[in-house]
A and B are shown apart, each in its own frame.
Chain A
Amino acid sequence: MAGVRARSNGALEALVMRALWQADQALGARAILTTFEDPIPAYTTILTVLSRLEEKGMVEREALSPRKVRFRPRISSAEAHARDMVESLEEAEDRRGALLAFADTLSSEDMELMRGAIAARRVRGGSS
């Protein structure tokens, strides 16, 4: 049974979504399977993953006939990543105040402190 759980559910979903995003048309489960490298998951696993993605609103089903079902992505790759990021931010309460911006503003006192320290060092450097 080696390799049965070689990938997490999240990783499998990501690989299925990638296959759908890269395709120009809707794909069936067998077509999706051909995009996998080892370990290749079972056909039924791909069907389960597709059902889960459908429930999440990530893919939509195209039933040409009861035995011929294809799937296409409902959201773009960029939208999916944006959603992923927003969700991870929302669940992370510990991120309060953890945003560290490159172009953050400084208080007027701190600006004065910096200018004073720079001027003092320049004067010292100039006099030596």
Chain B
Amino acid sequence: MIALLLVLALSLACAPASVLPLTVGRWQVWHPRLALALWLGIGLLGLALAGLTVLSAGLLVAFSGPAVGIARALVLVSLAWLGLGGIGVLASLALGSGNASHSTAHKAATTLRIDVDHETGAVLYEVDDPAVIAHAIGGRHPEIVVSRQARSALTPAELRGVIAHEVAHLRGRHGAVRRLCGWHASCLPRRSGLRRLLVTRVHLLTELAADDAAARAVGPERLHAGLRAAHVLLPSPALLVRAERLATRSASGAAAPGVTSAPAPLPEPVRNVYTK
């Protein structure tokens, strides 16, 4: 029983411990995927340990026989319920409670379906909304939305960088990663700094991971140009600092593996749409 309690304590400790790879040091800025993988790995270990606790407690109750003391049986059942409670919270969140977020496309006066990216299966839409550059929506029916303003203001090369970033979000399943982060945050105390840090850090690292993947796909210079052009269209210090990071990485010669002087073209449908 002590071993069971220890395993349960360890599984509970994984919830805050998995945040550490995201928050200790500054190395995550250059290795966002590794940081996210560590966070997910420790989180999954915690979940597996919680499952093991439930299973063990259940088996102990089932096979202890009639000789088991009332107090002991109560403790074991409580342990099982505690573990199940945690899994239940996760399951209910997984099923998606609360309101669905609304795309800016809802507010847009007109939305036009323009193409399909066959590799991700994402439908490309154009919206008439000056408050939008581009965004991706993951899920069973992925979509990429680009504003008409961005399409007309950005050069084809800049636009490729922007679209490659959104495609990278879909390929990396960053929507699912952020939902996982939401579930994880709900396991941490409501007003804790750790909880807020977890959410903002996962948000940042998914953006940086998408930047890195886009830089590999179309070349860092195109994405850099896309980020700077997007800042002109919709001023945001976050866009500038992301562009600065790409420039610093390229300048220090530590560009992401796979970056070549002749960047690989985007999938054909995207190029057809955005190369005017």
Residues of A whose CB lies within 8 Å of any CB of B are 77-79, 81-82, 84-86, 88-90, 92-107, 109-111, 113-118, 120-122, 124-125
Contacts and interface: CB of A to CB of B under 8 A. Distances in A.
A119 to B, nearest CB: 9
B98 interface: yes
13 contacts: A85-B103, A85-B123, A95-B101, A96-B96, A96-B99, A99-B136, A100-B166, A100-B175, A101-B134, A102-B165, A106-B237, A118-B29, A120-B26
B108 interface: yes
A90 B100 contact: yes
Contacts of B136: 99-100
B244 A118 contact: yes
B271 interface: no
B220 to A, nearest CB: 14
A100 to B, nearest CB: 4
Interface in B198-257: 200-201, 203-204, 206-207, 210, 230, 234, 236-239, 241-242, 244-245, 248-249, 251-252
B139 interface: yes
Given A85-B125, A103-B234, A109 B110 contact: no
Interface residues of B, number: 64
A125 B251 contact: yes
A43 B26 CA distance: 67
Contact of A106 (B110, B132, B241): B241
B138 A95 contact: yes
Contacts of A104: 203, 207, 238
Given A102-B165, A102-B166, A114 B241 contact: yes
